[in-house]
Amino acid sequence: MKQLFTSLEYNSAKSTDLLPLKCYHCNNKFYQKKFIITMTMDAQKNNDKQYSTKCRFCNQKCFHENQKNKIIMNCITCNKQVYRIPSSIIKLKNIFCSKSCSAKYNNTRRNINRKEINKKISETLKLKNKAKFYTFKCEWCGKENTIEWSKRKKKLCNRSCSSKFINKKYKSGVKGGQASAKIQIRRSKNEIYFAELCEKKFQKVLLNENIFNGWDADVIIEDFKVAVLWNGKWHYEKITQKHSIKQVQNRDKIKIKEIKKQGYIPYIIKDMGKYDKDFVELQFKKFIEIFA
């Protein structure tokens, strides 16, 4: 619909008033009632293509002449002849005689595209599977092994090699722990004071002796077969960057096992603070109540 009226003219006009329009075929000026123009405008807003031709052509002659100018095309799906306006042909990529033909064409195209995509995916997966292999040397026996890329973190070829490697690592960890226990000679003031109280109270007291298969205890009371472990802050909290709490706690577990194997009772005292005479005396009192 080609309008030759302004918005002011449209708003001021009554429903039966005539408003000027331009013919699509002859380009001549003609008039149409406002309510018909309003209906046509509403249809255009709702994308209704079947709106009235009364607002497009000045008479029936122009309408028929315009129809003659349509081009004959063939439907892509069924090859049926259809009439289309040149302007619509430019906008549309494919010509169909009906919605069913359009749906059939689109469905076939989708299936073809899916098959092509599936082929490409399968080809890429095959190439990736061929490339995704990883060669490594076993850390125990030194043999070369080829495995899938997803298992590239593997460093041992089989279970026997892994068990041997773990046993060796465990033994080396135990030896390292024993060595560090021998080297460590630092004692807190609280621990020293507790040892002095024990020496006054009991007959046979050993201090930091490595009698548990290479492991030591801070205070060993031979009278009751008790091994006292005075654990300071570094057993429970990270103090330096190199300090590993897990490593310390694992060593403590190994030490307790070895103490029990030798027939001694492990007794742990948790000391998280600084030198405190009252704290030490309270711990000593608790210890006596249990064992003395």
Question: In angstroms, what CA-CA distances link 273 with 187, 241, 281?
Answer: 14, 21, 14
pLDDT beyond 60 at 281: yes
pLDDT at 183: 42
| Coil, strand or helix at 32 | strand
| Positive or negative torsion for Cα 28, 31, 36, 39 | positive
- 97-106, 166-175, 239-248, 268-277: which has the highest mean pLDDT? 268-277
The single-letter DSSP state of residue 162 is H
pLDDT beyond 90 at 260: yes
pLDDT at 182: 47
Q: How confident is the model at residue 282 (pLDDT cuts 50, 70, 90)?
A: very high
Enumerate the domain spans of the chain: 2-69, 71-131, 133-183, 184-291
Higher-pLDDT residue of 127, 140 = 140
Q: Give the global pTM.
A: 0.40
Higher-pLDDT residue of 173, 287 = 287
pLDDT beyond 90 at 269: yes
| Coil, strand or helix at 10 | helix
DSSP letter string over 234-287? GGTS--SSS--HHHHHHHHHHHHHHHHHTTPEEEEEE--SS--HHHHHHHHHHH
Predicted confidence (pLDDT) per residue in 170-192, tens digit: 555 445 455 454 444 568 899 99
What fold, for 184-291?
Endonuclease; Chain A (3.40.960)
pLDDT at 284: 92
**Contact of 134 with 151, CB cutoff 8 Å:** yes
pLDDT at 89: 54
- Percent of the chain at pLDDT > 70 equals 76
pLDDT at 140: 75
Lowest mean pLDDT among 101-115, 146-160, 222-236: 146-160
Q: Rounded to an integer, what distance in angstroms lies between the CA atom of residue 187 and that of residue 215? A: 16
Residue type (1 letter), 25: H
Q: What is the mean pLDDT of residues 209-228?
A: 89
pLDDT beyond 70 at 90: no
Residue type (1 letter), 13: A
238 phi-psi bin (left φ>0, alpha ψ -120 to 50, beta other): beta
Q: What is the mean pLDDT of the chain?
A: 79
Lowest mean pLDDT among 14-23, 88-97, 169-178, 181-190: 169-178
Higher-pLDDT residue of 25, 248 = 248
Torsion of CA 66, 82, 88, 106, to 10 degrees: 170
pLDDT at 228: 93
pLDDT at 117: 79
Q: How confident is the model at residue 164 (pLDDT cuts 50, 70, 90)?
A: confident
Q: Which residues contact 10 (CB under 8 A, 6 or more apart)?
A: 19, 34, 37
3-state SS string over 101-132?
Answer: HHHHHHHHHHHHHHHHHHHHHHHHHHHHHHHC
pLDDT beyond 80 at 193: yes
Which residue, 211, 276, 225, is CA-closest to 284? Answer: 276
Token digits of residue 177: 């722990």
- Beta strands at 265-270 and 226-231: parallel, antiparallel or unpaired: parallel
Percent composition of the chain: helix, strand, coil (DSSP 3-state, to 5)? 50, 20, 30
Q: What is the mean pLDDT of residues 130-156?
A: 66
**Contact of 266 with 227, CB cutoff 8 Å:** yes
Token digits of residue 228: 């006292």
Q: Rounded to an integer, what distance in angstroms lies between the CA atom of residue 274 and that of residue 78? A: 95
Instruction: Please report where in the chains the tokens 């002095």 appear, as a residue.
Output: 196
